[in-house]
Amino acid sequence: MIVSTDASDDVIENCAMPHGDPAAAVRAVDRLLGARRPDPSSAADLVRLARIYGTEPFTPLSEAARVLGADRERLTGLVALFREIPQLRRAAENGPAGKYWHNTVLPLERSGRLDAVVTSTPAFPSSVGFYPGPTCMFRCHFCVRVTGARYDPADLVPGNEMFASVIDELPTDNPHLAYLSGGLEPLTNPGVGDLVARAGARGFALTTYTNAFALTDQTLARQPGLWDLHAVRTSLYGLDDAEYEATTGKKNAFSRVRDNLKRFQRLRAERESPVRLGLSYLVLPGRSGRLVELAALIAELNEAAPARPLDFLNVREDYSSRPDGALPPAERAELQDTLLAFDERIAQVAPTLDVDYGYALESVRMGVDARLLRIVPETMRPGAHPQVSVQIDLRGDVYLYREAGFPDLPGATRYIAGTVGPRTSLHDVVERFVTSGSVVTPVAGDENLMDGFDQAVTARLNQIETDLADGWGAARGFLR
């Protein structure tokens, strides 16, 4: 390991950033290498690698070699040298695309699940989503849910028994292994509190993804187990009643959600509950200016319980439907200005709030052309990645992708890996699917069953397999 503690470290670590100084970074790396420098251009190529993988993390090594004009032997040596210089690694990890590395790729590398997928080795998923909601009170225009689709009330009792059995088989080495989402709204299941308590008793810290419409005093009184949650993450569908109605079809929904959140904040403060509370907000195309109103809402919510303000905020924008998956320059510049202004405002009204801008918006904040991943049927993996992630609905059906677990959704049943039942565990379902070599042939539209996480995992697995097929061996994937 080549280590330095002088001021040049910052120059190297910032070399992938828009404000970085690549030329100064090259000089700093050259000094760092000293006698270990293989040739005069080594430092420059190492900095270029940091910039490539700091902005395009899923670049195959053969493509990186082409960009650098390096043959296989030289690039292999550069990758090995890169891994000995922690400042360069930090430059790539903290570049404009750093959220891919930190939030998804590197944690999965450490878990070994990516190698399990590539080698078709059965392994218990590193992420298990419980979709317990039998119905939903909203009908959002962007949701893939089939209008009126819901689970039969008769599915509730056996479904909750099935979820309990899965909770009991979860390995306890990762407290954040499981979460509650949908599908449909989790809080419409009257037994979800008992499931949370059961998981909590085994040491699991569950987060529920909810619209918070049913996060009422009555729900909390009937389901005290909800206080064993690790976090409540509320999806916002607007910032006033008119926006909510246009999006969800429900009158006065925003007012009710806002009031529910205020009461929840006061209750958790009174109970000194450790449950974390956060929001998830989608920036719609052309409406980035509404972020100012989001800051005002957060300030209003925090006034309800000044000692227990909101803990986190996830801000996302979905412009994957654009022809090239990218923002036009003028809109990107406007969005960047808005995000920076929002940062400044949030620092004033909610200084302790943890704000996560996700994969693409983090790049926009840095002034870099952001491009969401665009996995298409031709680049989908027929075997998916059940060793990484699965989702289970109320019927026990185990779905391979996060947006597939909706009842009656056309084509989604093809992505059921198996069904958990009295004599079939989740472990059994995954093992049988993987060892049997089961595959699903993707067709047009199937990519819509994948969320951003599924797309990032797919891109990483495709990168790894491309590198291995090209003979890069242990260097595959660049950062591990």
Residues whose CB falls within 8 Å of the CB of residue 163, separated by 6 or more in sequence, listed in order: 130, 132, 195, 392
Domain count, the chain: 3
For 130, 209, 453, the CA distances from 168, given in Å and listed in that order, are: 13, 21, 26
Q: Does a structural domain hold residue 307?
A: yes
Q: Does a structural domain hold residue 78?
A: yes
Quote the CA–CA distance of 356 and 393 in Å, as a whole number.
28
- Residue 67, classed as helix, strand or coil, is helix
Q: Is the dihedral of CA 37, 38, 43, 47 positive or negative?
A: negative
**Same domain for 432 and 366:** no
Q: Which of 39, 74, 95 is the last residue of a domain?
A: 95
Residue 180's beta-bridge partner residues? 130, 208
Amino acid 320: pLDDT: 47
Residue 223: CA atoms inside 13 Å, Cβ hemisphere, count? 22
Q: How many CB atoms lie within 10 A of CB 68?
A: 18
Kindly report the backbone phi and psi dihedral angles of residue 12, in degrees, each rounded to the nearest multiple of 5, phi listed first: -70, -45
**Same domain for 293 and 368:** yes
Quote the CA–CA distance of 445 and 33 in Å, as a whole number.
50
Amino acid 146: pLDDT: 64
Whether the CB-CB separation of 135 and 185 falls below 8 Å is answered with yes
Amino acid at 255: S
**Same domain for 429 and 356:** no
Amino acid 342: pLDDT: 93
Location of structure tokens 């989702």: 391
Amino acid 36: pLDDT: 83
Q: Does a structural domain hold residue 241?
A: no
Question: Which among 224, 225, 244 is positioned nearest to 234, based on CA atoms?
Answer: 244
**Same domain for 387 and 324:** no
- Residue 22, classed as helix, strand or coil, is helix
Q: Which of 352, 374, 396 is the last residue of a domain?
A: 374
Q: Does a structural domain hold residue 106?
A: no
Question: Which residue range forms the structural domain that includes residue 408?
Answer: 378-475
Q: Does a structural domain hold residue 237?
A: no
**Same domain for 370 and 288:** yes
**Same domain for 365 and 297:** yes
Q: Does a structural domain hold residue 195?
A: no
**Same domain for 411 and 370:** no
For β-strands 389-393 and 397-399, DSSP reports them as: antiparallel
Read off the pTM. 0.94
Q: Does a structural domain hold residue 319?
A: yes
Q: Does a structural domain hold residue 466?
A: yes
Residue 397's beta-bridge partner residues? 419
Helices (H), 212-356: 217-222, 241-248, 253-271, 291-304, 329-349
Segment holding 280, helix H or strand E: strand 276-282
Quote the CA–CA distance of 330 and 306 in Å, as a whole number.
39
Cα-atom radius of gyration of the chain, to the nearest Å? 24
Q: Which of 331, 355, 374 is the last residue of a domain?
A: 374
Mean pLDDT by 10 residues, the chain (480 residues): 66 93 95 88 97 96 97 95 95 93 96 97 98 88 70 96 98 97 94 98 98 97 98 94 88 96 97 97 78 94 96 80 59 83 95 91 77 88 98 98 92 97 97 97 94 96 98 95
For 437-453, the DSSP string reads T------TTGGGG--HH
Angle at 234 between CA 231 and CA 237, to 5 degrees: 170
